[in-house]
Amino acid sequence: MGKIRWRYAGLLVLVLSLMLAVTIAGLAQEQTPTAEEEIEVATAAITATLSPSSTVTEGVLVSPTVPLSPTAVTTETEGDEGAQGAVAATEADQEHGVELTVYNQNLGLVKEVRTFGLEEGENVVRYTGVASQIQPTSVHFVSLTDPEGTTVLEQNYMYDLGSTRDLLLKYVEQEISVRTAEGSVYTGTLLSGVDDIMLASEEAIKVVRMSQVQEFTFPALSEGLITKPTLMWLVRASAAGEQDVLITYLTNGISWQADYIATLVADDEALSIIGWATLTNQSGATYEDAKLKLLAGDVHRTAEPRLPSLAVEKEMAEAVSAPTVEERGLFAYHLYQIERPVTVRDRQTKQIELVGAPDVAVDKVHVYEPSPTVRLSSADRAITDPTYGLESDKKVRVLLEFANKEEDGLGIPLPGGVVRVYKEDADGGVEFVGEDTIDHTPEGEDLSLFLGNAFDVVGERTQIAFEQLGERTIEESYRITLRNQREEVVTVRVIEHLFRAQDAEVLSSSEGYEMLDANTMQYTLDVAEEAEKSITYTVRYEW
């Protein structure tokens, strides 16, 4: 009888257990959370892992799913470092403005004042929105409010998501999952993600071609992921409160050059010049309402290590007309300051007018320079081959020459750049006739622009005599002929290099000439319309 009671009791317990299980399952089905509720719960869990004193800014934490086109990447974020007193910049900090100095050599200097609320003692300070091509070793942090009581203990540059490869490197020796385009999923310890994905499991090592990967799934990193270029400092403050901080750094990826538009008048005797500063920003950051300065000069730099960068595309040039620009000397260079705020966007090319000179006196000259320009390094050396230098070009170059002087309509320090020359046509329009590059040119110096080769003016250089008079003596004669097919007189400047030896003496010449240096002679010849003109000379070399 007792056995029967115990049997019924056990059966009763079993029935009650089944009824309780069914009831619980029904309740669970009725209370299944929605996708939005699941995200809220996950967000709350992430936030709970942070220090109560931490402030989270945009870009410090990432969402549970981080797409990296064309390959999707999923992370399970645990949150950021919970350092005591961690702070971050607020939107109000942008009111201080940015100062940007751009150099000719793919270099920019960024200066910005931001306000941070610091606690007494050690603080972790974050600064986002920096250029992705920053030079981390150039960063300088100084408190303007309390420079004596605020000390920087550590400085870090962090950026995890420069590329999928950068992200994979952070997960080496950790377990990840990979889904291929065919739908297969592989999970294992990541051994390498440089070329192909190598996953190790208890059974085997699986190699997945990177081109076959459709999606990665990563575990959380203890320090979280930094999705924007970020500077972080460990700062010790002597007192709590807000402090204005000056942050300065150099960045690659931003540069400027001068571009000039020059227009010749009908008689080729005057030139109007407009100079533009062409600024190209590929640094990975936008500089809103910046106080912009452009430095012209060759600043010496040491070799820099290759820095992580983002892929960029060049936008159509944005021209900003008629600004006020102040020019002044700085050290051994020239500085041009734009007298108004300028927004320089990432992946943008912007033009700003620098200089204007409406009436510059110029000379159009034709130059024929057929002889070799070789310079012998020793007085004991000579070129004795009689055939050397006989082949010469027949083309006559066309140049524009002018002086960078106030009395000639200019007199402005000119940054180096490209000068594009246009010519007024008979129908009132203008046509492009050539371009050349100038170097940084101070006031008072002469400039020469090579625009091309003359169509109707040609030259010819012929050796008419060669004799070696002794072991160390040569005499040589040349004829130079110029042919002008134009219906006007053309003045041609003929330049001859006496190239065979350093000791050269002109014995005779059919026309007058001037010596530009010990081994260079110059003729200035007028060639009549539709005519030709020849000159001859004889030179003796000794060594």
Examine the pLDDT at 43 and tell me if it is beyond 50: no
**What is the pLDDT, as a whole number, of residue 432?**
94
As a whole number of angstroms, the distance between CA 292 and CA 100 comes to 5
Examine the pLDDT at 515 and tell me if it is beyond 80: yes
As a whole number of angstroms, the distance between CA 205 and CA 142 comes to 51
Structure confidence at residue 225 as a pLDDT band (50, 70, 90): low
Q: What are phi and psi of 172, to 5 degrees?
A: -60, 135
Distance spanning both ends of the chain, measured CA to CA: 139
**What is the pLDDT, as a whole number, of residue 328?**
66
As a whole number of angstroms, the distance between CA 15 and CA 331 comes to 94
| Angle of CA points 446, 493, 497, to nearest 5° | 95
Mean pLDDT of 323-343: 75
Q: Quick check: 42 and 64 in contact, CB under 8 A?
A: yes
Sign of CA dihedral 407, 412, 415, 421: negative
pLDDT digits (tens, 9 = 90+) for 129-179: 888 899 988 999 999 999 999 999 998 887 665 567 777 877 888 888 989
Query: CB pairs under 8 A, 24+ apart, for 303-306?
Result: 304/135, 304/252
Does residue 25 sit in helix, strand or coil? helix
Examine the pLDDT at 282 and tell me if it is beyond 90: yes
**What is the pLDDT, as a whole number, of residue 301?**
65
pLDDT digits (tens, 9 = 90+) for 250-262: 999 999 999 999 9
**What is the pLDDT, as a whole number, of residue 162?**
56
As a whole number of angstroms, the distance between CA 276 and CA 324 comes to 12
Mean pLDDT of 210-221: 82
Residue whose entry in the numeric block shows the structure tokens 């006989």: 390
Q: What are phi and psi of 13, to 5 degrees?
A: -60, -40
Token digits for 510?
A: 């059919």
As a whole number of angstroms, the distance between CA 96 and CA 448 comes to 45
Token digits for 294?
A: 């452009």
Q: Average model confidence (pLDDT) for the chain?
A: 79
Q: Quick check: 150 and 237 in contact, CB under 8 A?
A: yes
Token digits for 36?
A: 């939005």
**What is the pLDDT, as a whole number, of residue 334?**
78
Among the ranges given (127-141, 359-373, 464-478), the one the predictor scored with the smallest mean pLDDT: 127-141
As a whole number of angstroms, the distance between CA 362 and CA 268 comes to 7
**What are the helix (H) ranges across 31-51?**
35-48
Q: Tell me which residue of 454, 486, 456 sits closest to 367, measured CA to CA.
A: 454
As a whole number of angstroms, the distance between CA 469 and CA 68 comes to 79
Q: Quick check: 419 and 262 in contact, CB under 8 A?
A: yes
Q: What are phi and psi of 406, to 5 degrees?
A: -65, -40
- How many residues are recorded in the chain? 543
Examine the pLDDT at 30 and tell me if it is beyond 50: no
Mean pLDDT of 433-440: 93
Token digits for 56?
A: 């989270």
**What is the pLDDT, as a whole number, of residue 47?**
35
Q: Tell me which residue of 329, 351, 326 sits closest to 340, measured CA to CA.
A: 326
Sequence letter at residue 376: L
Element (H, E) at 307: none
pLDDT digits (tens, 9 = 90+) for 313-328: 333 334 444 445 666 6
Examine the pLDDT at 24 and tell me if it is beyond 90: no
As a whole number of angstroms, the distance between CA 122 and CA 456 comes to 79
Does residue 87 sit in helix, strand or coil? strand
Among the ranges given (43-57, 304-318, 405-419), the one the predictor scored with the smallest mean pLDDT: 43-57
Q: Tell me which residue of 294, 236, 257 sits closest to 420, measured CA to CA.
A: 257
As a whole number of angstroms, the distance between CA 506 and CA 521 comes to 9
**What is the pLDDT, as a whole number, of residue 31?**
45
- Calculate the alpha carbon distances from 284 to 103, 257, 496 in Å: 17, 19, 52
Greater model confidence, 456 or 51:
456
Token digits for 127?
A: 């600064």
